[in-house]
Chains A and B, each alone.
Chain A
Amino acid sequence: MNHKKKQNLENLLLLFFLIIAILVPLIFGSNQYNILLVTTVLIYGVMATSWNIIGGLAGQVDLASFAYLGLGAFTSGTLLIRFNLTPWIGMILGGLVAVAFALLIGIPLFRFRIKEVWYALTTCALVEILKVVFNMWEEIGGPVERYLPYFSGSVYHMRFGSYVPYYYLILGMLVIALLVNSRIAHSKLGFYLKALGEDETAAEVLGVNTRACKLRALVYYSFLIGVTGAIYANIYGFIHPSFFNGQESIKIAILGIVGGRGITYGPLLAALLLVGTQELLRASLGGEVSGLYLVIYSVILILVVLFKPRGIATFFQYRNKKPVKQEVKKKNVV
């Protein structure tokens, strides 16, 4: 029915995008700078899409995405540096560590009746806490970058001579993130999350264990980001407390909200548009752009939230909705 039609349209769009994405590195050939650029855009895409699980589907404004990224990076990176553990395993462990921290704040804060704002604030605090802790923690972190061992072209160490394999890795993560989003959205969990996002009380009395549902969403989200963090570390070749970046975490949330909360491809769309143009501008105009672009980000967020609160992806959605309103009121005559 309407449900199926929406699903098919989404799948088609995604397929189209995937085909283009796969071909992109071939277009750029050996231009490493450009490959890194698009990889960066895709990383934001992965993070924003993962954010959608907690922020869009579950309706919790999470501002800690880079906390989980950093945790994944440090876990995998440290294990590689100290124990020569391959990041292919390290990234799973990184994801698990991220989940552990996420649950640490999720379990107390997702209790029924606690206002959502406290969760948002706590996630802010989490990033800051981790930044300071890893800065002070000399053995694992410290103020200087810790470089991952350099083995060019070693698959075991996830170090490649070019950025291209990383690009495909991230693309793979993106596909996974999109699939997870889609599966959840059309499942019982997805309906439950949507319901509690609309009205938590009503959802509870209808049998929705709101706390458990939010925690499940949180686990999916933090795990995905943690794994991405491990890859992230390998792309840049080092780990550093600056990974725990509050401003960038907010940016991810902005992408998720602007793109369209709850719409699977919405945040990806926002990432492609906003981060894409930012990176392109940075390439031509230099570092000054970041400060100015942040202003643009925030203004866009405010405008979108005020005037198109469901996000820019809703421009595509309206084709599916039936004309409503007047008709229904007449049907009440019995």
Chain B
Amino acid sequence: MLSEQILKTSKLTKRFGNLIAVDQVDLEIKKEEIIGLIGPNGAGKTTFFNLITGLETPDEGQVIFKGTDITTMSPHAICKLGMSRTFQVAKSFTEMSVEEAIRVGAYNRRGEEEVQTKVDWALEFFELEDIRDYKCSDLGLSSLRKVEVARAAATEPELLLLDEVGAGLTAAELLKLMSELKRLNEETKITLCIVEHVMQMVMGLCERIFVLDAGELIAKGIPSEISNNQRVIEAYLGRRSYSESSSTG
């Protein structure tokens, strides 16, 4: 079991005017882990993702990915290095077909000769073969989500960030997605970091969990520790949280 670090942020901070969106966050992810990043709405999770993928520049702090300082690197260079992500509000390539969209991702590491193989792999892995020729704008929610994940996975990343891919899915769709993600992690050794509100997904998949609230990292640990954590429960007060021992508090 490799315990080598793949991502590390130190004192990562981002301000928008007077609002501190991400506040001195120290976070480490080890290779092949499945990490969860949770927190109430507005906690700064998406901003955090934006910071580490190069879409925003932090005001303070560092991001180290695979030993390289990527704090000010551009998003496409970071992807080349091996990090990819999905978006909370699906940014699909509306006029492209499912296959074409995945192809865009696959070109990250593959040249013209091999790219089709990668596309076929992704279509098969995520069970999208039947809809490969359908326009992205015509897809239903869960297919759209899978295409987002497939597209990002096709870039052959070492770290894949998933931003609320579970939202709005039915129980059955959720289970399917979870098993696919688990398979992805096991077969291709991709490290996963998922931002989620759907606790079932978080607790079911993640080995370790980080909790953000108002930009600050308030807790980290294994799922059972987190669900019993006082501060976490308080942060979520009033929201549904998956916890068997919810009587505490």
Chain A interface (Cβ < 8 Å from any Cβ of B): 1-2, 112, 187-188, 191-192, 194-195, 198-199, 201-210, 310, 321-322, 324-325, 328-329, 331-334
On chain A, the residues within 8 Å of B141 by CB distance are 332
Give Cα A64 to B93, complex, Å: 28
Give Cα A195 to B104, complex, Å: 7
Q: Are B79 and A328 in contact (CB under 8 A)?
A: no
On chain A, the residues within 8 Å of B96 by CB distance are 194-195, 198
Q: Are A208 and B173 in contact (CB under 8 A)?
A: no
Q: Which residues, 2 to 39 on B, are CB-close (under 8 Å) to A?
A: none
**B164 CB → nearest A CB, Å:** 15
Q: From known contacts A332-B140, A332-B142, infer whether A324 and B105 are also in contact, taking CB-CB under 8 Å.
A: no
Q: Which residues, 127 to 166 on B, are CB-close (under 8 Å) to A?
A: 130-131, 133-135, 138-143, 151-152, 155
Q: From known contacts A198-B96, A328-B140, A332-B173, infer whether A207 and B135 are also in contact, taking CB-CB under 8 Å.
A: no
Q: Are A206 and B100 in contact (CB under 8 A)?
A: no
Q: Are A191 and B75 in contact (CB under 8 A)?
A: no
Q: Are A322 and B107 in contact (CB under 8 A)?
A: no
Q: Are B172 and A333 in contact (CB under 8 A)?
A: yes
On chain A, the residues within 8 Å of B94 by CB distance are 198
Flag the segment in B84-92, B204-212, B238-246 that touches A.
B84-92
Q: Which residues, 84 to 126 on B, are CB-close (under 8 Å) to A?
A: 84-85, 87, 91-97, 100-101, 103-105, 107-108, 111-112, 115
Please count how many residues in chain B sit with their CB below 8 Å of the partner chain's CB atoms. 48
On chain B, the residues within 8 Å of A208 by CB distance are 76, 104
Give Cα A331 to B128, complex, Å: 10
B101: nearest residue on chain A (CB-CB)? Answer: A195
On chain B, the residues within 8 Å of A191 by CB distance are 100, 103-104, 107
Is there a chain A Cβ closer than 8 Å to B183's Cβ? no
B95 contacts which of A198, A205, A329, A332 (Cβ < 8 Å)? A198
Q: From known contacts A187-B112, A207-B107, A332-B140, infer whether A201 and B93 are also in contact, taking CB-CB under 8 Å.
A: no
**A59 CB → nearest B CB, Å:** 11
**A190 CB → nearest B CB, Å:** 10
**B98 CB → nearest A CB, Å:** 10
A333: nearest residue on chain B (CB-CB)? Answer: B172
Q: Are B76 and A210 in contact (CB under 8 A)?
A: yes
* Complex A-B, nearest 4 residue pairs according to Cβ-Cβ distance, in ascending order: A207-B108, A207-B79, A202-B91, A204-B75
Most A CB within 10 A of own CB, among B85, B92, B140, B143:
B140
B140 contacts which of A188, A205, A329 (Cβ < 8 Å)? A329
Q: List 13 A-B contacts (CB under 8 A).
A: A1-B133, A188-B112, A188-B115, A201-B75, A204-B55, A206-B84, A207-B84, A207-B108, A208-B104, A209-B74, A310-B95, A322-B134, A332-B173
**B86 CB → nearest A CB, Å:** 9
Q: Are A205 and B85 in contact (CB under 8 A)?
A: yes
Give Cα A112 to B56, complex, Å: 11
Most A CB within 10 A of own CB, among B78, B107, B155:
B107
Q: Knowing that A191-B103, A310-B95 are A-B contacts, what are 9 other residue pairs whose CB atoms are under 8 Å apart, sorted by A's residue number?
A: A188-B112, A188-B115, A194-B96, A199-B91, A206-B108, A206-B152, A207-B108, A322-B134, A332-B141
B95: nearest residue on chain A (CB-CB)? Answer: A198
On chain B, the residues within 8 Å of A328 by CB distance are 131, 134, 138-140, 143
Give Cα A78 to B52, complex, Å: 53
**A146 CB → nearest B CB, Å:** 46
**B161 CB → nearest A CB, Å:** 9
On chain B, the residues within 8 Å of A199 by CB distance are 91-93
Q: Are B152 and A324 in contact (CB under 8 A)?
A: no
B107 contacts which of A188, A198, A332, A333 (Cβ < 8 Å)? A188
